Amino acid sequence: MNHRDHSKLICDISELTTLFTDTGNLDSLLQKIVEMIALHMNADVCSVYLYYDESDELVLKATRGLQADSIGRVRLKLGEGLTGKALQELRPVCEGDARAHPSFRLFTGIGEERFCSFLAVPILRGQNRIGVMTLQSERKDHFTAEDVNIFRAVTSQLANTIEMAKLLMSIEKPSASEQKTAPRVSSLKFVKGRSGAEGFAMGEAVVVALPSLDDMAFAGGDQPLTLADLHGAVLKTEQQLEALQREIETKLFDVASLIFSAQILMLKDQAMLGAMEALIAGGDLPQAAVRRVVAQYVARFDKMPNAFLREKRYDVIDVGRRLLENLVGARSVERQYSGKIVIARELLPSDALKLSTQGVLGVVLLSGGVTSHVAVLARSLNIPLIIADEEGLLSLSPRAVILLDGEQGNLYVDPDQAVVKTFRDKEDLRKDSVKFRRNVKDRTVTRDGTAVHILANINLLGDLAVAKDYKAEGVGLYRTEFPFIVRSDFPTEEEQYVIYRKLVEAMKGRPITFRTLDIGGDKVLSYYDYAKEANPFLGLRSIRFSLRHKDIFAQQIRAILRAGVISPVRLMFPMIGSLDDLYAARAVVGECAAQLSAAGIPHLSSPEIGVMIELPSAVEMADELAREAAFFSVGTNDLVQYILAVDRTNEKVADLYVPHHPSVLRALKRVADAAIRHRKDISICGDMAHHPRYMAFLLGIGVRSLSLDARYIPKVQERILSIDIPSARKAAASLLECSSLSAVEKELALEYPLA
Ligand code: PEP
Ligand code: MG
């Protein structure tokens, strides 16, 4: 076994990004991948095979260590040899002496005879077979169990990139012609929406719901550009994208992934560039050639059978725009998202990440709720976001200027000077008050001296800096699913461990509560083949998913327990509905700890285990759950949704989503009583925890711990300082007596008048 620091390649996107530099085309990219991995894994051979459904064949596409002329010649059927077996069975195959294995298939004339140890891992996106990566060594028993884990992790990080390369390599020469649709123009002036992430922004609107090739049409006019100009623009575009990819790595280590790789690969694709060159040779101007080829590629992607691949049309358009910008000069085509306000029907979390890196000022969505996960992410990324169900926004004129008021959820189109001035003043005030508010105190106490613990919700590791800035006492909710959402496959245990370790190290011993994977609902994974669900929020979501996929669950638990060695962490399970759920999930933790012990891997053997109270069934079972669990954390975002049967992401019923509905208040009281009776901690980690108007009620029913987006800490702390516990108890008692929403609202207004 070598002593190279394998973990460097895991999640070290900047290292992987270097793959793209100096790579001339897609073949040479694959070659660079195998060179890099062979070096890091201390292997004599590293090869990549791509799998083609149509012929049911794996084809060797790049190798370091086997003879170069074997590339393209070595072909294996699915299940054939150890390589084919790894792909057929969708699992790694590791042999200390492969030649002795009955499935081994020796190819003569490629220099394979002298290698003994063999390791193959499938390259997958979910269950989609993309190919196989193999390692070989002359030494017997060279690859260890740890090598298998590392190799899987690295391969999983590269899977998206390899899939995209494969797709581009196999794309036929397109023939579609440019499409043109007349732009529709809307005459909206003001839209009342709802705030998803606070802040103000003003800039030109870009509608991305229907990204249009027309936007590219005006670029460049008839400037007499040449082939050399095109080559210059390609180079510049590549450099810009590589720089963006590096930038996202420093800002967003945990979710950076290789999210610009699809665009970089398109530029490396000789077929795409070749098609542009051929048009130029035939007399087209380069700017026209770019537009035509991009349109042809978009048409090709639109025909893809798989939704994930169809989405790549946006990447093609992005690349086309950037290329034109560099070709015709920045004055003719402006930067696409920098300084702009994006309007979209909906966005994926990975889109929000991209937009943030590209300098977007604000986002307007037509659908989704304020507690939807894109909104949660926008807050972490500091992008003001509003949700406004107004179709006319999708047809705003391309030059319309929007003023977005993320505080009130309002949107002004081409605002007049007076409106702009009001907002500039407000923004100045806000900046001042942010500075002022940073004078938060280390500890939060009520007016009569009762301590209230304020912890932070962390979605991205980048939130940690904000949490520290605002003096959060720890992390009350770490939403572990975000690194899962942007990847191409479930992150391996090693990948997760690297991320979790960073979090634990950064918190330097302060308490951290890990919430286990909470996907499903509005958090869908591109690589998981969900059986179509009519009601995803009532479907295979959250702990139900984890318990149905114990292998994925166990990988996460092991990674958390390993990170818990640095300093103890707490674990909690989302969407628990019964004691049985808790027992089943807890049993997995026990099994994982036993596995780690047996393997001699240092870990935290018995973390405190709590449950999230998010379901009406959990409210009913609160007493028993409180007896069994170490603590409660109330996820009010879901609790409200499920008690009131109001979809938290459906803008059309947003007015019915009311956290202070009497039924919710009474449920919270029952849950708090149960926790207190059993002397267990109870904390609130949904959005109710950051609304000053609910503070008196929450303290009044006995809550002493809150976990919230750290940006709200100053406001919440300020409110708590003004409350004394006896009056909070009285306020809570009056609210609990209210039998109607209107009565609750009257009481609340008396207690904490809204401005
Ligand atoms: C909640 O439901 O309130 C919660 C904190 O979890 P999430 O918003 O991630 O569903
Ligand atoms: Mg929840």
In a shared domain, residues 728 and 709: yes
Q: Which residues contact 3 (CB under 8 A, 6 or more apart)?
A: none
Specify if 185 maps to a domain. yes
What is residue 727's predicted lDDT score, i.e. its pLDDT? Answer: 96
Residue 519: closest CA among 500, 494, 539, 497:
539
Q: Give yes or no for residue 171 having a pLDDT over 90.
A: no
Nearest CA to ligand 1 atom 4: 635
3-state secondary structure 238-292: HHHHHHHHHHHHHHCCCCCCCCCHHHHHHHHCHHHHHHHHHHHHCCCCHHHHHHH
Residue 612: closest CA among 543, 520, 709:
543
In a shared domain, residues 508 and 539: yes
Higher pLDDT, 643 or 520: 643
Q: How far away, in angstroms, is 637 Cα from ligand 2 center?
A: 6
The residues lining ligand 1, judged by C-beta closer than 6 Å to any ligand atom, are 371, 477, 479, 518, 614, 635-638, 685-686
Contact 701, 667 (CB under 8 A): no
Q: How far away, in angstroms, is 373 Cα from ligand 2 center?
A: 10
Q: Which helix (H) or strand (E) holds 633?
A: strand 631-634
What is residue 179's predicted lDDT score, i.e. its pLDDT? Answer: 34
Q: How far away, in angstroms, is 635 Cα from ligand 1 center?
A: 5
Question: CA-CA distance, 554 to 560, in Å (whole number)?
Answer: 10
Q: What is the mean pLDDT of residues 52-80?
A: 92
Q: Which helix (H) or strand (E) holds 237?
A: helix 227-251
Contact 46, 34 (CB under 8 A): yes
Q: Which helix (H) or strand (E) holds 684?
A: strand 681-684
Contact 25, 165 (CB under 8 A): no
What is residue 722's predicted lDDT score, i.e. its pLDDT? Answer: 96
Tell the burial category of 496 from Cβ atoms under 10 Å away from its Cβ (0-12, 13-18, 19+).
Answer: buried
Q: For residue 58, what is the domain's CATH number?
A: 3.30.450.40
**pLDDT band with cut points at 50, 70 and 90 for residue 581:** very high
What is residue 175's predicted lDDT score, i.e. its pLDDT? Answer: 43
What is residue 6's predicted lDDT score, i.e. its pLDDT? Answer: 59
**pLDDT band with cut points at 50, 70 and 90 for residue 21:** confident
Q: Which of 278, 297, 329 is the last residue of a domain?
A: 329
In a shared domain, residues 64 and 184: no
Residue 165: closest CA among 57, 62, 40:
62
Higher pLDDT, 37 or 333: 37
What is residue 183's predicted lDDT score, i.e. its pLDDT? Answer: 39
Cα 245 from chain centroid?
15
Higher pLDDT, 124 or 753: 124
Q: What average pLDDT is seen over the chain?
A: 86
Contact 150, 10 (CB under 8 A): yes
Q: Which residues contact 485 (CB under 8 A, 6 or more apart)?
A: 255, 349, 350, 519, 523, 525
Number of Cβ within 10 Å of residue 111's Cβ equals: 15
In a shared domain, residues 199 and 259: no
Q: Which helix (H) or strand (E) holds 15?
A: helix 13-17
Q: Which residues contact 311 (CB under 8 A, 6 or more apart)?
A: none
What is residue 1's predicted lDDT score, i.e. its pLDDT? Answer: 40
Q: What is the mean pLDDT of residues 180-205?
A: 73
Number of Cβ within 10 Å of residue 745's Cβ equals: 14
Pocket test for ligand 1, best of 479, 517, 706 (most atoms within 8 A of CB): 479
Contact 582, 625 (CB under 8 A): yes
Q: How far away, in angstroms, is 524 Cα from ligand 1 center?
A: 15
Q: What is the mean pLDDT of residues 257-261?
A: 75
Closest ligand to Cα 373: 1
Question: Which atom belonging to ligand 1 lies closest to the Cα atom of 687?
Answer: 3
Specify if 1 maps to a domain. no
Question: CA-CA distance, 567 to 504, in Å (whole number)?
Answer: 7
Question: Which atom belonging to ligand 1 lies closest to the Cα atom of 477?
Answer: 5
What is residue 207's predicted lDDT score, i.e. its pLDDT? Answer: 83
Specify if 443 maps to a domain. no
Q: Give yes or no for residue 647 having a pLDDT over 50.
A: yes
Pocket test for ligand 1, best of 543, 685, 691, 694 (most atoms within 8 A of CB): 685
Closest ligand to Cα 379: 1
What is residue 153's predicted lDDT score, i.e. its pLDDT? Answer: 85
Nearest CA to ligand 1 atom 6: 635
Pocket test for ligand 1, best of 373, 638, 705 (most atoms within 8 A of CB): 638
Pocket test for ligand 1, best of 455, 481, 482, 518 (most atoms within 8 A of CB): 518
Please tell me the total count of domains within the chain. 4
In a shared domain, residues 387 and 476: no
Question: Which atom belonging to ligand 1 lies closest to the Cα atom of 685?
Answer: 5
Nearest CA to ligand 1 atom 9: 479
Q: What angle do CA 441, 735, 674 make, to 5 degrees?
A: 75
Q: Give yes or no for residue 274 having a pLDDT over 90.
A: yes
Cα 708 from chain centroid?
19
Range of 524's domain?
448-751
Question: Which atom belonging to ligand 1 lies closest to the Cα atom of 638?
Answer: 2
Tell the burial category of 565 from Cβ atoms under 10 Å away from its Cβ (0-12, 13-18, 19+).
Answer: middle
Q: How far away, in angstroms, is 368 Cα from ligand 1 center?
A: 15
Question: CA-CA distance, 159 to 155, in Å (whole number)?
Answer: 6
Q: Which helix (H) or strand (E) holds 477?
A: strand 475-479
Query: Angle at which helices 227-251 and 270-281 pack, to 10 degrees?
Result: 150
What is residue 216's predicted lDDT score, i.e. its pLDDT? Answer: 57
Q: Which of 436, 460, 475 is the last residue of a domain?
A: 436
pLDDT tens digits, 659-682: 999 999 999 999 999 999 999 999
Pocket test for ligand 1, best of 371, 516, 619 (most atoms within 8 A of CB): 371
Q: How far away, in angstroms, is 698 Cα from ligand 2 center?
A: 18
**pLDDT band with cut points at 50, 70 and 90 for residue 332:** very low
What is residue 213's predicted lDDT score, i.e. its pLDDT? Answer: 54
pLDDT tens digits, 92-143: 999 999 888 887 877 777 878 889 999 999 998 877 899 999 999 999 999 9
In a shared domain, residues 320 and 340: no
**pLDDT band with cut points at 50, 70 and 90 for residue 180:** very low
Q: What is the mean pLDDT of residues 572-579?
A: 98
Contact 487, 259 (CB under 8 A): no
Tell the burial category of 202 from Cβ atoms under 10 Å away from its Cβ (0-12, 13-18, 19+).
Answer: buried
Q: Give yes or no for residue 522 having a pLDDT over 60.
A: yes
* Residue environment code for 241-271, b if the CB has 16+ CB neighbours within 10 A, otherwise e: bbebbbebbebbbbbbbbbbbbbbbbbbbeb
Question: Which atom belonging to ligand 1 lies closest to the Cα atom of 634?
Answer: 3
What is residue 473's predicted lDDT score, i.e. its pLDDT? Answer: 97
Q: How far away, in angstroms, is 76 Cα from ligand 2 center?
A: 46
In a shared domain, residues 142 and 201: no
Q: Give yes or no for residue 331 having a pLDDT over 50.
A: no
Question: CA-CA distance, 743 to 732, in Å (whole number)?
Answer: 13
The protein residues having their C-beta less than 5 angstroms from ligand 2 (an ion) are 614, 635, 638
Q: What is the mean pLDDT of residues 11-34?
A: 78
Nearest CA to ligand 1 atom 8: 637
Q: Which of 329, 363, 389 is the last residue of a domain?
A: 329
User: Is the pTM here over 0.85, yes or no?
Assistant: no
What is residue 2's predicted lDDT score, i.e. its pLDDT? Answer: 44
Higher pLDDT, 460 or 683: 683
Q: What is the mean pLDDT of residues 715-721?
A: 94
Tell the burial category of 536 from Cβ atoms under 10 Å away from its Cβ (0-12, 13-18, 19+).
Answer: middle
**pLDDT band with cut points at 50, 70 and 90 for residue 521:** confident
In a shared domain, residues 63 and 148: yes
Specify if 442 maps to a domain. no
Specify if 52 maps to a domain. yes
In a shared domain, residues 365 and 274: no
Please state whether beta strands 200-207 and 93-95 pair in parallel, antiparallel, or not at all (unpaired).
unpaired
What is residue 178's predicted lDDT score, i.e. its pLDDT? Answer: 33
Number of Cβ within 10 Å of residue 178's Cβ equals: 17
Specify if 151 maps to a domain. yes
**pLDDT band with cut points at 50, 70 and 90 for residue 654:** confident
Please state whether beta strands 200-207 and 340-344 pair in parallel, antiparallel, or not at all (unpaired).
parallel
What is residue 314's predicted lDDT score, i.e. its pLDDT? Answer: 73
Rg of the chain in Å (alpha carbons): 28
Tell the burial category of 205 from Cβ atoms under 10 Å away from its Cβ (0-12, 13-18, 19+).
Answer: buried
Higher pLDDT, 53 or 176: 53
Contact 488, 125 (CB under 8 A): yes
Question: CA-CA distance, 556 to 480, in Å (whole number)?
Answer: 9
In a shared domain, residues 661 and 519: yes
Q: Give yes or no for residue 604 having a pLDDT over 90.
A: yes
**pLDDT band with cut points at 50, 70 and 90 for residue 3:** very low
What is residue 184's predicted lDDT score, i.e. its pLDDT? Answer: 44
Question: Which atom belonging to ligand 1 lies closest to the Cα atom of 479?
Answer: 9
In a shared domain, residues 321 and 361: no
What is residue 254's predicted lDDT score, i.e. its pLDDT? Answer: 75
**pLDDT band with cut points at 50, 70 and 90 for residue 746:** very high
Q: For residue 593, what is the domain's CATH number?
A: 3.20.20.60
**How many CA atoms does the CB half-sphere of 36 hold within 13 Å?**
22
Torsion of CA 248, 249, 252, 255, to 10 degrees: 100
Question: Which atom belonging to ligand 1 lies closest to the Cα atom of 641?
Answer: 2
What is residue 434's predicted lDDT score, i.e. its pLDDT? Answer: 65
Name the amino acid, one letter, at 386: I
From residue 659, how far is each of 332, 367, 638, 644 by CA, in Å?
Answer: 49, 20, 10, 9
| Of the listed ranges 113-127, 172-186, 456-470, 674-688, the one predicted with least confidence | 172-186
What is residue 656's predicted lDDT score, i.e. its pLDDT? Answer: 93
Q: For residue 413, what is the domain's CATH number?
A: 3.50.30.10
What is residue 430's predicted lDDT score, i.e. its pLDDT? Answer: 67
Lookup result for tokens 């003043």: 425
Which residues participate in catalysis according to the annotation?
373, 685
* Residue environment code for 208-219, b if the CB has 16+ CB neighbours within 10 A, otherwise e: bbebbbebbeeb
Q: What percent of the chain has pLDDT over 70?
A: 89
Contact 502, 458 (CB under 8 A): no
Q: For residue 288, what is the domain's CATH number?
A: 1.10.274.10
Q: How far away, in angstroms, is 572 Cα from ligand 2 center?
A: 12
Q: What is the mean pLDDT of residues 521-531?
A: 76
Query: Angle at which helices 286-302 and 270-281 pack, to 10 degrees?
Result: 140
| Of the listed ranges 106-120, 574-588, 605-619, the one predicted with least confidence | 106-120
Number of Cβ within 10 Å of residue 737's Cβ equals: 11
Specify if 584 maps to a domain. yes
In a shared domain, residues 518 and 497: yes
Residue 477: closest CA among 660, 657, 612:
612
Higher pLDDT, 419 or 747: 747
- Supply 622's token pair: 């609160």
Q: Give yes or no for residue 225 having a pLDDT over 80.
A: yes
Q: What percent of the chain has pLDDT over 90?
A: 52
Q: Give yes or no for residue 710 having a pLDDT over 60.
A: yes
Closest ligand to Cα 522: 1
Specify if 257 maps to a domain. yes
Question: CA-CA distance, 715 to 416, in Å (whole number)?
Answer: 31
Name the amino acid, one letter, at 219: A
From residue 472, how far is each of 670, 682, 713 by CA, in Å?
Answer: 27, 17, 8
Question: CA-CA distance, 630 to 569, in Å (whole number)?
Answer: 13
Q: How far away, in angstroms, is 635 Cα from ligand 2 center?
A: 5
